[in-house]
Amino acid sequence: MTSKIEQLKTYLAEIVDLGYIGSLLGWDQETNMPPAGVKERGEQMATIARLAQQRFTSEELRRALEEAEAEVAGMDPDSDAARLVKVTRREVDKRVKVPSRYYEELSQLAVESYAAWKQAREQDDFEHFRPYLERMVDLRREFASYFSPYEHVYDPLLNEFEPGLKTQEVQQIFNELRPQQVALIQEITSRPQVDDSPLRQHFDPQKQWDFGVEVITKFGYDWQRGRQDKAAHPFTTSFGLNDVRITTRIMEDYVASALFSTMHECGHALYDLGCDPALARTPLAGGSSLALHESQSRLWENLVGRSKPFWEHFYPRLQAYFPEQLGNVSLDAFYKGINKVQPSLIRVEADEATYNLHVMLRLDLEIQLMGGELEARHLPEAWNAHMQEYLGLTPPTNAEGVLQDVHWSHGYIGYFPTYALGNLISAQLWEAIHKDIPDLEDQIRRGEFAQLLGWLREKIHRHGSKFEAPELVQRITGQPISPQPYIRYLRQKYAEIYGI
């Protein structure tokens, strides 16, 4: 007789497949789709969303879930079966509160909105994007309304990306982090600035691409299970445990952009590729949360990729790719250049010391948007005011300001806090990794990453979505999510670079 868990998995597999199909359509939209395909792609995405919602809220799934809940009663609560039931219950309870019509409308608008955002950013034309953004904000406010009463209007949006965390908890973490990070930036800016001009020359795009491929191949990215393409805003997407794709963005006059975006997206991909195959075609496949996912991408991009041991191994290879540009640039000068601290306009190009301020700025704006204190049409002015307050800069154009990020075009309000949380978690994990792998820096210096990847797969990747981020961080490090390891990491690093 087929167990109730297996019957539940049969229903869930179809829903998961629909999600992967939607992801494939989204990947194609951002990499290959011709501009005229927007309307039809929106209709296709709406159909996928409607079918998934109907199946999530069907009587058949509800009955299968109730029977599976009875079957797992008394099982180890950390077993795959018990966790599958728990995660499915969480998703079903959320889905039944939202009408199918909502998901259709959101999916179709996201396709049209992304196309409008892309054109608006290219032409520095906020007004072209504004009506789509206004509709998206209205839709996300509507979504939050389905979960009233709530502790905070932002909670339902945050829960979409970070289950287990409340807005108040995130604000408390950020309130502890911000003054320490601001103080560090002030100390750094009081010291003589490092020179990053060697990074700002012409670098052949194909050679940038090839070097990035060389690096992430050594990290462990499996090209039989993935591929890399170009996109306006780099991202990673998964169509299953054996098809995880990444994208990058190349700037011909700044070598660090493609390099670190490639490493960043590879970190996301390694997480998905490391999931236990037993979790395939269930809601447990994939990462625990966006913050956990971001901890992996930032760990490979920054804690590994911006470290001195990493470049002791890879810098001669980069010089071989670009002898004219870097042949006479010392390792020390290059290392300081890629770690230069300077308030800047663009989040994805921001240094480690200022990056989290970009995130906090966006969190403030999103909370105001959801609460009705700020309307979408006033975002450019609010953005510029916050940039001046947080980073002492005013964007000269909206393309370098409010239009720089893709997230709002997709309706991803609630996403941004996960970036800063990921930074914090990455440093907590880094301290735990060093305890278990004392010679980690020597391994990186030799270009060896197998033991590091193995640790991440054992502690994090294989579990997929079985554990919420706060729980998994507590299990691994013995501590709740905290900014202090990240502050220690930054202070130690910049003490060497800036002499603070």
CA 262, chain centre distance (Å): 13
Under 8 Å between Cβ of 231 and 249: yes
Convert the pLDDT of each residue in 73-85 to its tens digit. Answer: 989 999 999 999 9
Exposed/middle/buried for 50, CB within 10 Å: 0-12, 13-18, 19+? Answer: middle
- Of the pLDDT bands very low, low, confident and very high (cuts 50, 70, 90), residue 500 is confident
Under 8 Å between Cβ of 151 and 166: yes
Beta strand 236-238 pairing with 244-248: antiparallel
Q: For 167-498, give the CATH class.
A: mainly alpha
Q: How far apart are CA 379 and CA 402, in angstroms?
A: 7
Active-site residue flag, 265 = yes
* Tokens 């990491």 belong to residue: 489
- CA-closest candidate to residue 180, choices 445, 487, 500: 487
Does residue 341 sit in helix, strand or coil? coil
The per-residue pLDDT for 349 is 86
Convert the pLDDT of each residue in 401-460 to its tens digit. Answer: 999 999 999 999 999 999 999 999 999 999 999 999 999 999 999 999 999 999 999 999
Cα distances (Å, whole numbers) of residue 244 to 20, 205, 295:
11, 23, 18
Convert the pLDDT of each residue in 312-355 to its tens digit. Answer: 999 999 999 999 999 999 999 999 999 999 999 999 889 999 99
The per-residue pLDDT for 2 is 63
Nearest-10 Cα torsion for 374, 377, 381, 384: 90
Nearest-10 Cα torsion for 162, 11, 5, 146: 40
Beta strand 228-230 pairing with 236-238: unpaired
- Of the pLDDT bands very low, low, confident and very high (cuts 50, 70, 90), residue 294 is very high
CA 112, 113, 115, 120 dihedral sign is positive
Q: Give phi and psi for 358, each to the nearest 5.
A: -60, -40
Amino acid found at 12: L
Under 8 Å between Cβ of 177 and 487: yes
Q: How far apart are CA 268 and CA 294, in angstroms?
A: 7
Q: Tell me what the pLDDT averaged over the chain comes to.
A: 96
Beta strand 228-230 pairing with 244-248: parallel
Q: How many CB atoms lie within 10 A of CB 240?
A: 17
Give the pair of three-digit tokens for residue 189.
């800016």
Q: How many CB atoms lie within 10 A of CB 8?
A: 25
- CA-closest candidate to residue 178, choices 395, 417, 368: 417
The secondary structure element, H or E, covering residue 228 is: strand 228-230
Q: Which of 265, 294, 301, 352 is catalytic?
A: 265
What are 238's strand-pairing partners?
Answer: 244
pTM: 0.94
What are 171's strand-pairing partners?
Answer: none
Domain borders along the chain are: 4-149, 167-498
The per-residue pLDDT for 477 is 97
The per-residue pLDDT for 232 is 81
Convert the pLDDT of each residue in 103-158 to its tens digit. Answer: 999 999 999 999 999 999 999 999 999 999 999 999 999 999 999 999 999 999 99
Going by the DSSP 8-state scheme, the letter that residue 199 receives in this structure is G
Q: How far apart are CA 473 and CA 481, in angstroms?
A: 7
Convert the pLDDT of each residue in 126-136 to its tens digit. Answer: 999 999 999 99
- Of the pLDDT bands very low, low, confident and very high (cuts 50, 70, 90), residue 375 is very high
Q: How many CB atoms lie within 10 A of CB 64?
A: 21
The percent helix, strand, coil of the chain (3-state, each to 5) is: 70, 0, 30
Q: b/e map of 417-450 (b: 16 or more CB within 10 Å)?
A: bbbbbbbbbbbbbbebbeeeeeebeebbbeeebe
- Phi/psi zone of residue 58: left (φ > 0), alpha (ψ -120 to 50 degrees), beta? beta
- CA-closest candidate to residue 178, choices 355, 351, 387: 355
